[in-house]
Amino acid sequence: MTRLSGITPSGHAHIGNHLGAIRRWARQGRPGDLYFVSDLHAMTVSYNPARLRKLSRELLAVLVAAGIEPDQVFVQSDLVREVGALTWVLECACSFGEAARMTQFKQKSEGQGMVRLGLLTYPVLMAADILLQGAAEVPVGDDQAQHVELARSLARRFNTTYGEVFTVPEAVTPPTAARVRDLSDPGRKMSKSTQDSAGVVFVLDEPDLIRRKVRRAVTDSLGRVEYRPQEQPGLANLVEILSACVGKPPREVVAGFSSYGELKEAVADAVIEELRPLRERASALLADRAELDRIRKAGAERATERGAHRLSSALRLAGVG
Ligand code: AQP
C-alpha cells in the first residue's frame, strides 16, 4: 500500500520540517512509501525561478541525506507532462464551486496582489499527484485534509463516470509531532517561507549560526525553568525541540537546568548534533552533482513508470489521447 508525502521547496528546510516530518519519514517509512519535492506547488505564489530550481535540488539532497531510501524520492516537475495531463483531466471532472470552497485558497489568496489561478486549482494538481501514483494513504495535517477529500471525490467521480482507474485515497493523520515554533516569535510556527530567518533554524545552517539563533531565542522574564507551554511559550518551544532531539519527554528534559542560558546551550548542542550527519551527507551529495543527478533521474523514471498505465487508461476512458 503506497503512502505519499510531499514537501514544498518554498524555502530552505528547517528543524521543524525535520523533526515534524523528514526524520519520521526516514525512520518510520515503509518500503512502498513515496516522498516527493513538490516544486510545482511552489509556483502558486510569487517566486524566483532560479531559487526554486536550487531549493528543489537542495531539498532532494536533504531527503536522501536524512536517510530516506533514494528509490523512494522524486521531484514533482520531472513528471510535469504526466501530472499536467492528469490535472487537466481532473479539472474537467471538478466543479468551480468545489475548488473555490477550499479553505486554504481563501486563506492564501488574502492580501496577495495577484491571485494566481494555480492557487485555486492547486488542490487538483495535488489530486493528480496522489492519483497518478496510486497512493492509498496520504498523511496530512488538518490544513490539507480538505484537499485529500477533494482527491477522493475526483477519484470516485472519474471511476463511476468513465471507468475504474483510480485508487480512492485515504487521508491519514500522522503521529503528533512537536509543532516547532519560530524562535523569534513563539506565537507562530517555524516556516520555510518566513521573511525574517533569525528565528528559523535551517537544517543546513552551520553550527555557529545555529548556536547564535538559539541563544537569541525569545523567552520571558519569569526566570522559571519549567515546561509550561501556555505561560512560557518561547521556553516551552526550546524544551520541545530538546525533547524531540534527545527522545525524552519535555518535563524530563527540563529538569536539571537552573537558567535559561544553560538550557539554551543544551538546546544548541542537541540541535547541532541532531543535524550534523544530515548536513554532512547533504553537503556531500550537493557537491557530487553526478550522484544527485543519478538519484533524481532514477526517481523520475520510476515515478513516471508507476503512473504510466493509470494516465493512459484515464486519457483513453476520457475519450482523448
Ligand atoms: N514548524 C513545524 N513544526 C513541525 N512540523 C512542521 N512542518 C512544517 N513546519 C513545521 C511539516 O513539514 C512537512 C512539509 O511541509 P510542507 O512543505 O508541506 O509545507 P508547510 O507545512 O507549509 O511547511 P513550512 O515550512 O511552513 O513552509 P511554508 O513556509 O511554505 O508554509 C509537513 O509534514 C509539515 O507538517
189 catalytic per annotation: yes
- Both 243 and 103 in a single domain? no
CATH number at residue 49: 3.40.50.620
181 belongs to a structural domain: no
- Both 160 and 302 in a single domain? yes
- Both 59 and 84 in a single domain? yes
Query: Percent helix, strand and coil across the chain, each rounded to 5?
Result: 60, 5, 35
183 belongs to a structural domain: no
- Both 119 and 244 in a single domain? no
CA distances from 261 to 233, 256, 275, 280 (A): 16, 13, 21, 28
Does the C-beta of 180 come closer than 6 Å to ligand 1? yes
Query: What domain range includes position 159?
Result: 4-172+289-318
Q: Could you tell me the three cell numbers for 136?
A: 492509498
* pLDDT per residue as tens digits for the range 305-320: 999 999 999 999 999 9
pLDDT on residue 111: 82
pLDDT on residue 57: 98
Can you list the alpha helix ranges (DSSP code H) found in 133-204?
142-161
122 belongs to a structural domain: yes
Query: What's the CA gap between 237 and 111, in Å, rounded?
Result: 29
- Both 221 and 102 in a single domain? no
108 catalytic per annotation: yes
Q: Which atom of ligand 1 is nearest to the CA of 177?
A: 4
- Both 302 and 163 in a single domain? yes
* pLDDT per residue as tens digits for the range 17-64: 999 999 999 998 899 999 999 999 999 999 999 999 999 999 999 999
106 catalytic per annotation: no
Mutate to test the pocket of ligand 1, among 62, 191, 238 (most ligand atoms within 8 A of CB): 191
Does the C-beta of 16 come closer than 6 Å to ligand 1? yes
- Both 12 and 67 in a single domain? yes
What's the gap between Cα 51 and its chain centre? 17
What pLDDT band is residue 142 in, cutting at 50, 70 and 90?
confident
How does strand 4-7 pair with strand 170-172?
unpaired
- Both 151 and 52 in a single domain? yes
| Residue 134: count of CB within 10 angstroms of its CB | 18
What is the average pLDDT across 208-213? 98
Which amino acid residue places its CA nearest to atom 5 of ligand 1?
20
109 belongs to a structural domain: yes
- Both 77 and 139 in a single domain? yes
E strands, 38-177, in order:
73-75, 137-139, 170-172
Query: What's the CA gap between 5 and 19, in Å, rounded?
Result: 15
What pLDDT band is residue 13 in, cutting at 50, 70 and 90?
very high
Q: Which atom of ligand 1 is nearest to the CA of 139?
A: 33
- Find out whether 135 and 169 touch, Cβ atoms under 8 Å: yes
CATH number at residue 226: 1.10.240.10
- Both 52 and 135 in a single domain? yes
- Judge whether residue 16 has pLDDT over 80: yes
- Judge whether residue 176 has pLDDT over 70: no
Does the C-beta of 8 come closer than 6 Å to ligand 1? yes
- Judge whether residue 177 has pLDDT over 90: no
- Judge whether residue 169 has pLDDT over 70: yes
- Find out whether 156 and 92 touch, Cβ atoms under 8 Å: no
Q: What's the domain count of the chain? A: 2
- Both 102 and 221 in a single domain? no
Q: How far is the CA of 52 from the centre of ligand 1 (A)?
A: 17
Q: How far is the CA of 75 from the centre of ligand 1 (A)?
A: 17
Mutate to test the pocket of ligand 1, among 7, 8, 17 (most ligand atoms within 8 A of CB): 17
- Both 118 and 263 in a single domain? no
* pLDDT per residue as tens digits for the range 64-91: 999 999 999 999 999 999 999 999 999 9
Dihedral of CA 110/113/114/118: which sign? negative
- Provide CB contacts within 8 A for 131, sequence distance 6+: 86, 90, 151, 154, 155, 166, 167, 169, 310
- Find out whether 254 and 226 touch, Cβ atoms under 8 Å: yes
